[in-house]
Amino acid sequence: MKKSGSGQKNGARGGRAGSRQGFRSREDKPARKSAPTTQRAPKAVTKARPAPVVRAKPAPVEAVPRPTKAQARAEAQETLATGVQTLVVEPDEADMRVDRFLVARFPQLAFTHIQRIVRKGELRVDGKRAQPNDRLTAGQKVRIPPLKLDQPRPASRSAAKDQSERDFLKSITLYEDKDVLIINKPMGLAVQGGSGTTRHVDGLLESMRDAEGQKPRLVHRLDKDTAGCLVIAKTRFAASTMAKSFRSRTTRKIYWALVAGVPRVKQGRISTYLAKEGEEGDSRMKVARHGDEGASHALTYYAVVETAGQKLAWVSLKPVTGRTHQLRAHTAHIGHPIVGDPKYFDIENWELPGGIQNKLHLLARRIVIAHPRTGKPIDVTAPLPPHIQQSFNLLGFDTGRYDPIVDAPEE
């Protein structure tokens, strides 16, 4: 809003804002001059003329900044009706998953509630039922059912807690610029919340919200007990661009694992179909056949780097696809499960060598991904977590050894 050029206009604005200061009432009008009349005898009592009204010059109206898009959305969320509504996908939201779109638009809703809406078919995209992992395109219309916006909000965050969490994230940062953050996720730290999980990476990222209220976004996931490189987008543009890199399989991922036994074929390819079995809270992936319900193709290249007799092998893995528990299920499928894996380690009467901890020995060792703006590769390597470092020291493995998986096929 521009500043007014005169006090009179400012007064008018003040009147529109709810004050009558800039307007004259009938009592304020000056008396009209009457025509000359014959002189009459003065009345006994005369009314005193009211004193002139002195008005203070109204203060100039200051320009009010227009709200940002993020602020407008936040205000809209506060006043949303509980009825059905239709949202239009904006260009900067293109290629987002349906569930992530809802998370971004309605951060006050529990993720479990969002998943339930989609699972029940209550959410429609251009009139059709949507799956949580469906991707949106700009201009699509998303029909949202009545939302439970009166759910309890998370407790207000303290500045001290935010600073503590930012410091922690800084301590595990491997790479950062204005678009990308890559952290060395510790073993035991979940990537997202779930039943009974209160501390996770997605929650820690709340401490990094910018001036417009946007927080960094997860681009992919690691299992809770898998340590290593985790890519995070700091902007919506970066999230969309890097998500495409993962889906198009142009992102290179290298994992290190300590497995039971030594694979007979030192360098090979594992290609299966995987499907989920069991209850949601205790599910695992099983090898399935093409055409089985929920079965997806999974492809992994592997190479043996070094061995400790016939008891243990250090294996380097390059997943081409990104299925849940893919590496853990694949190594178990070929008879060499990962040491410390509570779900897939199925060798009976196998004894853990002395000094080696019974923890998952799987590390997201290296990731190479194109920068979302420049296209140049970001190449990041994570150090060994303490329990794997201890095992390597006991077995005499040298981390500087050449990794043959580097030259493995990409497809």
99, 223, 225, 403: which one is catalytic? Answer: 223
DSSP state of 98: H
Using the CB atoms, write b or e for 35-57: b if 16+ within 10 Å: eeeeeeeeeeeeeeeeeeeeeee
Contact (CB, 8 A) for 249 and 410:
yes
The three-class DSSP label of residue 100 is: helix
Closest by Cα among 219, 225, 224 to 237: 219
Q: DSSP strand E in 196-283: where?
A: 217-218, 227-233, 252-260, 267-277
Contact (CB, 8 A) for 331 and 304:
no
CA atoms of 135 and 189, how far apart (whole Å): 28
For residue 103, how many other CB atoms are within 10 A of its CB?
16
Strand-pair partners of 335: none
Instruction: State the Cα angle at 60 between 58 and 61, rounded to 5°.
Output: 115
Q: What's the start-to-end Cα distance of the chain, in Å?
A: 58
The three-class DSSP label of residue 233 is: strand
C-alpha 209: how far from chain center: 11
Strand-pair partners of 369: 378
For residue 152, how many other CB atoms are within 10 A of its CB?
7
**Phi then psi for 298, rounded to 5 degrees?**
-135, 135
Q: Is there a catalytic annotation at residue 167?
A: no
CA atoms of 304 and 258, how far apart (whole Å): 10
**Phi then psi for 372, rounded to 5 degrees?**
-60, -25
Which residues, in sequence order, are CB contacts of 250 under 8 Å at separation 6+? 369, 370
339 is written with which tokens?
């040491």
Which residues, in sequence order, are CB contacts of 405 under 8 Å at separation 6+? 254, 301, 302, 303, 305, 316, 317, 318
Among all residues, which ones are annotated catalytic?
223
